[in-house]
Every structure is written in C-alpha cells, then in structure tokens.
Amino acid sequence: MLKFTIAHLSLVLLILSFFPTDSQAKGLEIVIIKNANFRSGPGTNYKIIGNLGIGEKLKVVSTKDSWYEAVKGRRNLAVTGWVSSTIAVANNDSAYAGKGLILLNVDLTSKLGKNAVWVASVKQGDIVTILKSQPFGSKIQLDNGEIGWVRRNFIKQIGFQNYPYYLNEKSIIYSAFNFLDKLRTKNEFFKYFVIVISVVFFILPLYFIHFFTNFLCVRKALSNTLIKWLIRFLGIVVMLLVTPIFMFTPPYENFFIGVVFVVLLLFDMWLQGKRIVYLRCPRCRTMWAGMDKGSIFLGGWKSKRTVRHADGSTTGSTHSAMYYRDKRECNHCGHRWSITRVKS
C-alpha cells in the first residue's frame, strides 16, 4: 500500500515537472534592436559576415569591450560573429525590464479583436513599456503616455522579463497559442477550428483527471479520501494553468466562456468526488474503492404517507422516489452484478 502511494505521488510530481519553467539561467541571450551588421571581430573595422534583423535573438558566447560574440542560427546553420552592444539588449538587462521592441510599423488599437479603435501609430524599432502581456498580444504604453494594444507578432519582449510562465515566449503553452494565433488569422474556417482546439485544450486535462483517478481507484492504490483530495488538487492545478488563458485571450475576451469553464470544472470535481464508492463483491467479498460507473434511470413512483396525530387529526405528505440501476464488475474475481438503488 505504502509502495503504491509513493509510486503514484512520484508520478504526479513527474507530470508536474513537465510544466515549463523559466529558463532565464540557461545562458545570456540578446535581442537585436536595429537592423545591423554581423562582423568577424569586435570592431567596425572587421569584415561584415552577415546581416542581423530587428528582433533577432542570438546566444552570447563571449564579450569584449562593448561587443558581443554571439551565435546566429541553429545547429548546422549556426554562424558565430560579433555584434555591437549598442544595438543589442541582453535578456538579463534590468534597464529594459518590462520593455518591448516594436518589429514593424503598426497601429496601436484600443483593444484586440473586433470593434477596436485606432489609438496611435508605432514605428519599427520603438521601445515601449509592456503593461500587460497575453499570448495573443500586449497592452503597451508609449513614451507620450498613450496606451493601446498591439498583436504579438509585432512586438518582442526584451530585457529582464518576469512574466508568468504561460506568457513567457519560451514556454510550451505560449508557443502552442502562438501557433494557434497564426492559424486563427488565416481565415474564418481556422478561426472556428482554433476555438474547438482551444476547448479541447481545456477538456483534455479534465479527462486526464478522470482516467488517472479511475486508475488509482481500481488499483486500490490510494484510499477513498486521498483520491478525493487528489481530484480537488488536480482540478485546481488545471484551473490555475488553463483559465487565465481562456479568460484573457481574444477568442474568449467576453470572459463569460472562461467563467463557464470554471463552473464546469467545479461541477466535474464535485461529480467525481461523489462517484467514489466502496464496493464489496457479493461473490468473493473483496472490498475496494471504486468509481460508481453511472446510472440508468428506471422511472419513478410517488407514495402518499399519512401521519395520524394524538388528537386524531392527520397530515399528509407526498414522497417521490426514483430507481437507478448500476452495473458493477469485481476487480478481483471478475464477477458482474447490478444493483438497484432508490434515490428520493
């Protein structure tokens, strides 16, 4: 029993470890803030070996004076060269904390999505303050104080970033939503396709909880009470991970859908907690915690009950009851039986 518990707890921890963490410490990275030259050495007198585009990210190998030696491209396409620190911002530079680089000349709007109103124009290379970052775009403030939204394709986080993981460009969830966002803007069909996919994103973890807790129940790995708490814990984890994305991204900007999902999740948790029952096989008498597999409604009936009081008067009340039939199978000997429950 103890072995099982530890094994499954470590499984939970293993699953939790899949959630992406901030990879700031992996190495210094720089973002190019102006179209510039990539050189063979640390100085403008060295040969030009390539071009660097605005927003391009490079990995730093070494530094000399005010120059970075950095790697452009990946694997067999990687080229090492030098770039002046005046046209690059390091990802640990606190002077650029919360700043974003505008990648193209673009309009700033009052919000993302439909009915957006033009606020201002921003130019390629502008560095702006990011007030709020979301997978589909950012709320930014210009130097003149104007505030508006810009889609994420047009802005890049620079400097030291301290966003929650799902807003960090390196996280898996961010990449997934970025991909969906690209699909969404293609045409009407993909727009609805993406909504469906997003709903699946939300539903999948719920199904995972179903299967995981069912597995634990049937294996008798954890006690009834522990499984109920595990359902609650996993439910809260799912809610914390997924609902911010659903509530604050453009396809769901009416917020309402996010609320519906939270209610759905709470209902699901409540239902699962209710479904756990102790079963005893009528043949081999083995007992275990199992899931109540669901019910078949058999119809109901009403009965009238009359109570006679000491003074001879009577009061009547009507009781109704419904019959449900559950099919069950013994985990130990395979015996199948069905029980009829009365629910009133």
DSSP 135-183: TTEEEEE-TTS-EEEEEGGGEEEESS----GGGSTTSHHHHHHHHHHHH
CA–CA dist 14, 196 (Å, integer): 29
At closest approach, how far in Å is the CB of 342 from Zn ion? 24
Judged by CB under 5 A, which stretch of 12-20, 85-93, 237-245, 273-281 contacts Zn ion?
Answer: 273-281
Q: Is 333 in the site for Zn ion (CB under 5 A)?
A: yes
Size of the residue set binding Zn ion (CB under 5 A):
7
Q: How far is the CB of 284 from Zn ion (least distance, A)?
A: 3
Q: What's the one-letter identity of residue 191?
A: K
Coil vs helix vs strand at 64: strand
Residue 266: count other Cβ atoms within 10 Å of its Cβ.
14
> Any contact of residue 332 with Zn ion (CB under 5 A)?
yes
Binding segment (CB under 5 A) for Zn ion, from list 96-104, 107-115, 144-152, 328-336: 328-336
User: Shortest Cβ distance from residue 336 to Zn ion (Å)?
Assistant: 10
Asked if 330 interacts with Zn ion (CB under 5 A), we say yes
> Distance between the two ends of the chain, CA-based, in angstroms?
37
Does residue 279 touch Zn ion according to CB under 5 A? no
Interacting positions 284-313 with Zn ion (CB under 5 A): 284
- CA 156 to CA 56: how far, in whole Å? 9
CB of 71 or CB of 339, closer to Zn ion? 339
CB of 326 to Zn ion, least distance (A): 16
Greatest pairwise CA separation for the chain in angstroms:
114
Q: 282 or 300: whose CB is closer to Zn ion?
A: 282
**Which residue, 103, 105, 54, 104, is CA-closest to 83?**
54
Exactly one of 283, 293, 327, 336 binds Zn ion (CB under 5 A); that residue is 283
| Residue 343 within binding range of Zn ion, rule CB under 5 A | no
Among 328, 291, 294, smallest CA distance to 210 is for: 291
**Taking the complex as a whole, how short is the minimal distance between the CB of residue 279 and Zn ion, in angstroms?**
9
Which stretches of the chain bind Zn ion, using CB under 5 A?
281, 283-284, 330, 332-333, 335
